[in-house]
Amino acid sequence: MADLPHDEDLTCAVIGAGPTGLAALRTLQRYGVPAVGYELADDVGGLWHIDGPRSTMYESAHLISSKTTTAYAEFPMREEVADYPSHRELHGYFRDFADTFGLREQIRFGTEVTAVEPDPDPASGHWLVTSTGPDGTRTERHAAVLLCNGTLSEPSVPTFEGSFDGEVMHTSRYRDADVFAGKRVLIIGAGNSGCDIAVDAAHRAASVDLSVRRGYYFVPKYLFGKPADTLNQGKPLPARIKQAVDSRVLKAFTGDPVRFGFPKPDYRIYESHPIVNTLVLHHIGHGDVTVRPDIDRLDGDGVRFVDGQRHEYDLVVLATGYRLHYPFVDRDLLAWDGWSPQLYLNIFPPRRTPAQSTLFVLGMLEASGIGWQGRYAQAELVAAYLRARRDDPAAAAEMDRRIAGPKPDLSGGYRYLALERMSYYVNKDAYKASLAEHLALLDPLPAPEPSAPRTHEEVR
């Protein structure tokens, strides 16, 4: 097995400088592991940098989890920042994080990674990373690679029978509500982005319809005057008890979504990602938005639905989500099977070759309430493992034994739907506990103290 070099002639490559990539660079820094970042955009922030070339952000976007449960633990957001900050406030937050810990100096901005390949020497365990940037195209050797390029940049675009004469756009292209002015709009998909955009459209469009396949659970952002996700932060309840309790609470606060035209969910709450948006119910209740069933076919200047109804539209918006996208890595190296790579703890590929022991995926993670600290915890486990390979081979070997399987149960007792976007979903509490258990094998550093208030740059 290749060792991480003691000197700095080989660095770890961190691909992406969004929330996950910044967490990776910071934790590698804390563990004394040299690293270099590759970022396509001209600034940090990932999708929260709305002007970045791969950003899928829109002007009205805010966090759907509160700042308290979302921020890095060592870098809390300032008190004056709203409970649910806008994308511009969050871009400022990531800029501050990078500047506070001196991460910018490690990042090559305006640089696109085009290939990540194992070193031709199969025993080295090193990687060749090819990138194109301000200095042209070059290939460099790295001791390890951390894929941190996110999960929300590659649109998932379904196909439909028939054809449509008007405009069709995916939500990845949506920026502001001006595009809806005076138009008859159909939004396909009622996930969190779809519902956000339906609310935007309600203020500008001639009409707004929302096509859905299944029922949803709608969670308000505030309960009892506090951000909903800050409640019940103690010992987690068993899955069935939490589902029973929270279902009753939601009915008391939001009512039954079936009343608004949604199908009755054929699953229990938290078995699919909930919709953190009750404004869409407000607009449905006011007649600004109408719920329609699933699409049967596109039909010229209109759309025909599975219930036989047909309606005319000027614009169809595909709120159909995103696919995992690691185009620069051979899928076999990630043990890709079906919708997603099959990784231990959603991080570690199976150890089929020496190189795979120094390839990691960070941020391939969806969980209700896990926040960016969950990505930070992933990065800390990888940083501790890399340090152990150098300084504590016995601990690294024990970690390798765990990675060989079997995989831990990360469901927390929930029966998640068999959907593409749920294929890498975990239960927050089960996942955090498993990360902590594995980290304990590797002699982790003490948790960092929260940063002092920032004064060098105002969060915008």
Q: What is the pLDDT of residues 74-114, one digit of tens each?
A: 999 999 999 999 999 999 999 999 999 999 999 999 999 99
Going through 22-93 in order, the beta strands assigned E by DSSP cover 35-38
DSSP 3-34: PPPSSSSS-EEEE--SHHHHHHHHHHHHTT--
pLDDT at 232: 73
Does position 376 have pLDDT exceeding 70, yes or no?
yes
What band does 457 get if pLDDT is binned at 50, 70 and 90? Answer: very low
Percent of the chain with pLDDT over 90: 87
Give the mean model confidence (pLDDT) for residues 18-23: 98
Q: From its phi and psi, is residue 69 left (phi > 0), alpha (psi between -120 and 50) or beta?
A: alpha
Does position 456 have pLDDT exceeding 80, yes or no?
no
What band does 447 get if pLDDT is binned at 50, 70 and 90? Answer: confident
DSSP 200-215: HHHTT-SEEEEE-SS-
Does position 448 have pLDDT exceeding 70, yes or no?
yes
Going through 294-351 in order, the beta strands assigned E by DSSP cover 295-300, 302-305, 310-312, 315-318, 322-323, 336-337, 340-341
Q: With the C-alpha atoms ordered 103, 105, 106, 112, is the resulting torsion angle positive or negative?
A: positive
pLDDT at 452: 59
Give the mean model confidence (pLDDT) for residues 9-18: 93
Q: What is the pLDDT of residues 169-219, one digit of tens each?
A: 999 999 999 999 999 999 999 999 999 999 999 999 999 999 999 999 999
Does position 56 have pLDDT exceeding 60, yes or no?
yes
pLDDT at 161: 97
Helix axes 19-30, 87-100, angle to 10 degrees: 20
pLDDT at 454: 53
Q: From its phi and psi, is residue 238 left (phi > 0), alpha (psi between -120 and 50) or beta?
A: beta
pLDDT at 31: 96
pLDDT at 125: 84
Q: Which tokens hold the place of 251?
A: 């009915």
CA–CA separation, 296 and 293 (whole Å): 9
Does position 455 have pLDDT exceeding 50, yes or no?
no
What band does 458 get if pLDDT is binned at 50, 70 and 90? Answer: very low
The residues that bridge with 222 in the sheet, in sequence order, are 227
Q: What is the pLDDT of residues 304-332, one digit of tens each?
A: 999 999 999 999 999 999 999 999 999 99
Does position 343 have pLDDT exceeding 70, yes or no?
yes
Q: Determine if the pTM surpasses 0.85.
A: yes
Percent of the chain with pLDDT over 70: 96
Give the mean model confidence (pLDDT) for residues 241-257: 91
Least confident piece of the model among 53-67, 233-247, 273-287: 233-247
Does position 7 have pLDDT exceeding 90, yes or no?
no
pLDDT at 360: 98
Amino acid letter, 282: H
Q: What is the pLDDT of residues 213-235, one digit of tens each?
A: 999 999 999 998 999 999 877 77
Q: What is the pLDDT of residues 57-77, one digit of tens each?
A: 999 999 999 999 999 999 999
Does position 437 have pLDDT exceeding 80, yes or no?
yes
CA–CA separation, 349 and 336 (whole Å): 9
